[in-house]
Chain A
């Protein structure tokens, strides 16, 4: 592939990663805890897209993937709510590591359920738009529209202001009478739907495999660390950087080297700049 083509596919990949990372940060900021099942929500979004595509074909409909996306988003939101209800709500007064362990357990349940009921073999989700060549462009457009909406909600609405208040100072937000629990539930739903959407977008080109969740989890995590813990624009930038890195290293060396060097890079970032490339100091917040 030539450079413009590579750039396009890197941007498409980055757009999907950005959805994953922004969803992760939204939950992180509202709940103050890491949702480790986020990567498996991405995987299950892909599973949902595959299954919906199969179901549509079974009734004789050949529709582009974009028609299925609203349903995938709803399923993702439901998954997010399940994670919040089981892995966060009963543990909200306990140390953050309790939520961490609980969501690891949920991630494992998601992955093993997918292996058992969906099968361990990779499957392909329907393309977002009819022709394969337009797929990267369609991914970028869908992700841009959705991320634009998230931006508008965060910056221009009362809900968004409450979110930001909660993210900045949980205690103060509560003292001001901002209802934390409904907001946190909303964040889990939003995080889940962004993850599900990303899974459906990625599922055509990169296939859907039951055990791919931790990989996506790691990508979101790395994006957030690079962009600065808790920063939404940072997560977006981090996701794009990862995608560019992966695509170009994979093209010049190999996909395996792209993965390996990415992990080495994140260890180096944690070593040299634990505050992220543009963010706040690490280690201050849970």
Chain B
């Protein structure tokens, strides 16, 4: 039930009520033009919901959405025209969805790993190819004139005529997609998706398969673009290259940016405005496209979260302030450590070079549960690189990493995290607007929300952070945020934990508290590997340690002996020999 409650945002309710009223008004006295316009708004909403998946939820700035819409329109038109009233006509919409989805699946496999601007360029090139095909492959696409006389939508012998039937089909599809998306994004699962978009590395470190998430959203977004295009072909009856050009793309970008990049209600609102505003601003004649551009620009600069979020903030003024999150009930399964003993981490002969620099050179180490291993060394000695190699963030040039019999040196970070090896970073990447409790609970997002929050509460308790549970993470001081990040790593319920300078930025009292918290975790069965400069802090937690210098292990010993080691002192203070 809490999921349903979280889905019902003020903006969502407002948009739903508006659509209901508009529907009643149409039923009581809407002419065919008004119905057609409302249908086109629904089609635009489907396109925008699809684009939101790509640009909003996956964070991939695709410029091909308009062209994929056009491709869907052409596919539906070709199937409907060649079926000529036979049963095959039912396949027009499936074909409209499958062709763009297939294309996106092929292209996405290659280009989704590219950074923003390269991805945008690749999708723009794809869009231009589709448009070129539409204009020039005349025998199929009808060239610049396009295809006309497209019959109405026929599904299994039932004819969805233009007018009310098509309006209901379109808005029915909008409702299904919108509710499904809102359901998938309610609560912690949405927070996990946002983390994957904003901080992919942090998301991977708590076991989220970021690449898969991006791929699924990109392909699903393309399928929705095709569906919208197919519906458009049936409603309008003609398709032309104009339906695949950049103006369609700009329109759908406008709808999503104006309405709200990640809000389902925002996409629908943006689409309705996009289709209906030109009607209200007839005096602009054909210059409404200028206004679209200006509106997008204004929204990006002034209200980057879009209208839906503005509504929410405005309407929240009238609601009682959200109370602090209730203390989650502690269930037995919310304990952090498994009762059985976890796997042993073994790294053998790891080496990694960047350019000509050997960052890590033939390093071996092992870490068992109930053990704490310190990694020390001067700046630039390869400590963080070593953690990256062990946790799947970087791949070693040579050497192996295993968790018991499982080989993880070629495994991506999310697989390593799911295998039970969690980590923290020097920069704590946390979603600033979430409460501390929820930011930690994202680490356990695969469980039901209540259970995840219970796990998170326990993790906060372990680190003495329960007082901050209701505070927005973004308002915590930097040192505390890093503790929150450690709590999030704990919420994944790891066997082993890799910490990168956990004590930096903490006061001495906080350091002492963290040291004893970590010691308790170790006593309870967790294995910890810590990169840190504060040797007194390490001495309290780690019985043994290794010292790196220029990528090599120069000493491995019980920690007290390590501190006295001459080589270690020389490495830190400078070569005095």
* B293 and A100 within 8 A (CB): no
Q: Does A239 sit at the interface, judged by CB under 8 A?
A: no
Which residue of chain B has the shortest Cβ distance to A268 in the bound complex?
Answer: B110
* B118 and A101 within 8 A (CB): no
Considering residues A90, A100, A267, which has the most beta carbons from chain B within 10 angstroms of its beta carbon? Answer: A267
Chain A, 88-112, contact with B by CB distance < 8 Å: what is the 0/1 string?
0011001011101110111111001
Q: Does B195 sit at the interface, judged by CB under 8 A?
A: no
Q: Does A286 sit at the interface, judged by CB under 8 A?
A: yes
Q: Give the Cβ gap from A121 to chain B, nearest Cβ, in Å.
A: 14
Which one of B68-76, B120-128, B389-397 is at the interface?
B120-128
CA distance A90 to B129 in the complex (A): 34
Known: A106-B293, A259-B128, A263-B125. Is A274-B286 also a contact (CB below 8 A)?
no
Known: A100-B120, A101-B257, A112-B290. Is A282-B125 also a contact (CB below 8 A)?
no
* B297 and A86 within 8 A (CB): yes
* B287 and A283 within 8 A (CB): no
CA distance A55 to B114 in the complex (A): 47
Q: Give the Cβ gap from A83 to chain B, nearest Cβ, in Å.
A: 11
* B290 and A87 within 8 A (CB): no
Within 8 Å CB of B133, what residues of A? 260
* A100 and B116 within 8 A (CB): yes
Chain B, 119-151, contact with A by CB distance < 8 Å: what is the 0/1 string?
011101110110011001000000000000000
Interface of B is mostly: helix
Known: A87-B297, A225-B121, A270-B121. Is A282-B128 also a contact (CB below 8 A)?
no
Known: A96-B116, A225-B121. Is A108-B296 also a contact (CB below 8 A)?
yes
Q: Does A113 sit at the interface, judged by CB under 8 A?
A: yes
Q: Does B238 sit at the interface, judged by CB under 8 A?
A: no
Q: Give the Cβ gap from A59 to chain B, nearest Cβ, in Å.
A: 30
Q: Does A17 sit at the interface, judged by CB under 8 A?
A: no
Within 8 Å CB of B286, what residues of A? 115-116
Q: Does A271 sit at the interface, judged by CB under 8 A?
A: yes
* A282 and B287 within 8 A (CB): no
CA distance A87 to B246 in the complex (A): 19
Chain B, 158-173, contact with A by CB distance < 8 Å: what is the 0/1 string?
0000000000000000
* A94 and B304 within 8 A (CB): yes
Within 8 Å CB of B287, what residues of A? 112, 116
Within 8 Å CB of B289, what residues of A? 108, 112, 115
Within 8 Å CB of A97, what residues of B? 59, 61, 116
Known: A116-B286, A116-B287, A221-B124. Is A105-B297 also a contact (CB below 8 A)?
yes
Chain B, 320-349, contact with A by CB distance < 8 Å: what is the 0/1 string?
000000000000000000000000000000
Size bracket of the A interface? 35 or more
Q: Does A256 sit at the interface, judged by CB under 8 A?
A: yes
Q: Does B219 sit at the interface, judged by CB under 8 A?
A: no
Chain B, 239-283, contact with A by CB distance < 8 Å: what is the 0/1 string?
000000010001001100100000000000000000000000000
Q: Does A214 sit at the interface, judged by CB under 8 A?
A: yes
* B300 and A101 within 8 A (CB): yes
Known: A100-B61, A109-B297. Is A34-B114 also a contact (CB below 8 A)?
no
CA distance A98 to B301 in the complex (A): 8
Within 8 Å CB of B575, what residues of A? none
* B129 and A264 within 8 A (CB): yes
Q: Which residue of the partner chain, among A106, A221, A285, contacts B121 with CB atoms under 8 Å?
A: A221
Known: A97-B61, A105-B300, A112-B287. Is A259-B294 also a contact (CB below 8 A)?
no
Which residue of chain B has the shortest Cβ distance to A285 in the bound complex?
Answer: B115
CA distance A107 to B136 in the complex (A): 26
Q: Give the Cβ gap from B351 to chain A, nearest Cβ, in Å.
A: 20
Q: Give the Cβ gap from A42 to chain B, nearest Cβ, in Å.
A: 15
Q: Does A222 sit at the interface, judged by CB under 8 A?
A: yes
* B296 and A274 within 8 A (CB): no
Query: Which A residues from 186 to 226 make CB contacts under 8 A with B?
Result: 214-215, 218, 221-222, 225
* B116 and A286 within 8 A (CB): yes
* A90 and B301 within 8 A (CB): yes
CA distance A282 to B116 in the complex (A): 11
Q: Which residue of the partner chain, among A104, A256, A283, A285, contacts B253 with CB atoms under 8 Å?
A: A104
* B114 and A274 within 8 A (CB): yes
Chain B, 300-312, contact with A by CB distance < 8 Å: what is the 0/1 string?
1100100000000
CA distance A225 to B118 in the complex (A): 8
Chain A, 216-251, contact with B by CB distance < 8 Å: what is the 0/1 string?
001001100100010000000000000000000000
* B297 and A267 within 8 A (CB): no
* A34 and B294 within 8 A (CB): no
* A34 and B120 within 8 A (CB): yes
CA distance A271 to B108 in the complex (A): 11
Chain B, 88-125, contact with A by CB distance < 8 Å: what is the 0/1 string?
00000000000000000001001101111110111011
Q: Does B292 sit at the interface, judged by CB under 8 A?
A: yes
* A96 and B117 within 8 A (CB): yes
Q: Which residue of the partner chain, among B59, B125, B136, B301, contacts A91 with CB atoms under 8 Å?
A: B301
Query: Which A residues from 264 to 286 make CB contacts under 8 A with B?
Result: 264, 266-267, 270-271, 274, 282-283, 285-286
* B126 and A214 within 8 A (CB): no
Chain B, 45-62, contact with A by CB distance < 8 Å: what is the 0/1 string?
000000000000001010
Within 8 Å CB of A218, what residues of B? 121, 124-125, 128
CA distance A286 to B117 in the complex (A): 7
CA distance A86 to B293 in the complex (A): 12
Q: Give the Cβ gap from B532 to chain A, nearest Cβ, in Å.
A: 25
* A101 and B301 within 8 A (CB): no
* A214 and B116 within 8 A (CB): no
Q: Which residue of the partner chain, among B111, B114, B136, B250, contacts A104 with CB atoms under 8 Å?
A: B250
* B116 and A274 within 8 A (CB): no
CA distance A268 to B345 in the complex (A): 40
Which residue of chain A has the shortest Cβ distance to B284 in the bound complex?
Answer: A116
Considering residues A229, A274, A286, which has the most beta carbons from chain B within 10 angstroms of its beta carbon? Answer: A274
Q: Give the Cβ gap from B111 to chain A, nearest Cβ, in Å.
A: 6
Which residue of chain A has the shortest Cβ distance to B135 in the bound complex?
Answer: A256
- B contacts, CB < 8 Å to A: 59, 61, 107, 110-111, 113-118, 120-122, 124-126, 128-129, 132-133, 136, 246, 250, 253-254, 257, 286-287, 289-290, 292-294, 296-297, 300-301, 304
User: Which 3 A-B pairs rank lowest in CB-CB distance, beginning with the nearest?
Assistant: A109-B293, A108-B293, A105-B296
22 contacts between A and B (CB under 8 A): A34-B120, A91-B301, A96-B117, A100-B116, A101-B296, A102-B297, A105-B294, A106-B293, A107-B293, A108-B289, A112-B290, A112-B293, A116-B286, A215-B128, A225-B121, A259-B128, A267-B122, A270-B110, A270-B122, A271-B111, A283-B114, A286-B116
- A contacts, CB < 8 Å to B: 34, 86-87, 90-91, 94, 96-98, 100-102, 104-109, 112-113, 115-116, 214-215, 218, 221-222, 225, 229, 256, 259-260, 263-264, 266-267, 270-271, 274, 282-283, 285-286
